[in-house]
Amino acid sequence: MSRVIAPGTPGTTGTHPARFASAPAGEPTLDTWQDAPHNRWAFANLGEMVPTAAIPRRFPAAPSAATDRLDILTSRLPGLRQRLEATYTDAFLVLRDGKTVAEYYRPGFAPDNRHLIMSVSKSLCGLVVGALVDGGHVQPAAPVTDYVPELAGSVYDGPTVQHVLDMTLQIDYSEDYVDPHADVQRHDRAAGWRVRREGDPEDTYAFLTTLGGNGTVGTFQYCSANTDVLAWIIERVTGLRYSDALSKYLWSKLDADRDATITVDSTGFGFANGGVSCTARDLARVGQLMLDGGNAPGGRVVSEAWVRRVFEGGDQQAMAGSSFATLHPHGSYTRQWWCTGNSRGNVTGIGIHGQYLWLDPRTNSVIVQLSTWPEPDSGQLHEQQNHLLLDVSNALDNPETAPKSKEHTA
């Protein structure tokens, strides 16, 4: 396919799951959430309507000193603490065989604090799509517009669900996070992450219909809009809001310590590409289900075949020339996961400002590193953090790092 597709004309984006049963379309709004019957829902879900602040159950809310349980690794990696500090780490956790063997939290950040995981959120979305594919509800080879006809006339008119999953379609979309004129910032504004400007689409659904570009497929282009298209497909197939589908098909099966959260736009549509927050321990549970072949404590999430295809990697040729391929020459991207293609078979979810969910199948280990880099997408810090994660993976080859029976499960 080589046609050039013009951006779609903003307009109706069809019907979407209501925030609560029997809610009229588009309700409640900032002007109506206090009115009956909307207040029955809004008073219990105020964070979707008005910014809210936590009132912590303990004071101070988090330790003033770092939480540091790194001894088992520092004997193999003497400079580990300094490397974590140099990469602005807020939370660092290593699971092996489902048990915690090392953990670190910076001063002022507690083990049960949620942290924004940015685009690691994409990997969670990929798992929900996988569950629906396994159930026969989504066909990867089907055109996107079979599920969301409102995207006809946009760049998504023609490509398949698999193209979107693997990000192998060319879109007029700039992912330059610091450029105020970039599409990713317009995307943020539609999702409520930035102050709206005149002429901006009203919500994320409307924004997605405006995307155009070269309709070619087969070459990797990282584009956050793709994940929100997948979330729209999920809503259409399940009839659930994306946040509820993420709970039903993934989070409710993890035996998680805490609820996760996701930011929503003015319609209540979850920001699937980057809006999830959770604890490091609960994110590690996502990694563990991948290492366990798609099975979680609460039941199967995705099939072994889906997980195997992720670990086998995607099309390396499609990734050629990308910054990821510079770090990992045999790297690829598939089903919303990054695949290093290295000898260890490491697979990872990655988010800007230093979020990593790193899987090491050789040692049945999961490494979570959640950071707050000063820049969103630093090549230098990516390299530092990738080397750190590889060094930790290599250190885990030592039998001394195997968990003892007294060590707790995350």
Active site residues: 119
**Cα–Cα distance for residue pair 232/108, rounded to 1 Å:** 37
Alpha carbons 249 and 267: distance in angstroms, whole number: 22
- The torsion region of residue 293 among left (phi > 0), alpha (psi -120 to 50) and beta comes to left
Crossing angle of helices 120-134 and 242-249, rounded to 10°: 70
CA atoms within 13 A on the CB side of 286: 30
First to last CA, the chain: 47
Beta strands in 83-167 (DSSP E): 89-96, 99-105, 115-116
Nearest 5°: the CA angle 373, 243, 191 is: 55
Residue 313 tokens read as: 């990697």
The strands making up 99-105's β-sheet, listed across from edge to edge, are 67-69, 99-105, 89-96, 365-371, 355-360, 347-351, 337-339, 332-334
Cα Rg, the chain, nearest whole Å: 21
Backbone angles phi, psi at 337, to 5 degrees: -125, 150
CA atoms within 13 A on the CB side of 98: 11
Nearest to 124 by CA among 350, 327, 312: 350
- 96 burial class (0-12, 13-18, 19+ CB within 10 angstroms)? buried
**Residues forming beta bridges with residue 69, ordered by sequence position:** 103
Helices (H) and strands (E) in the chain, counts: 14, 15
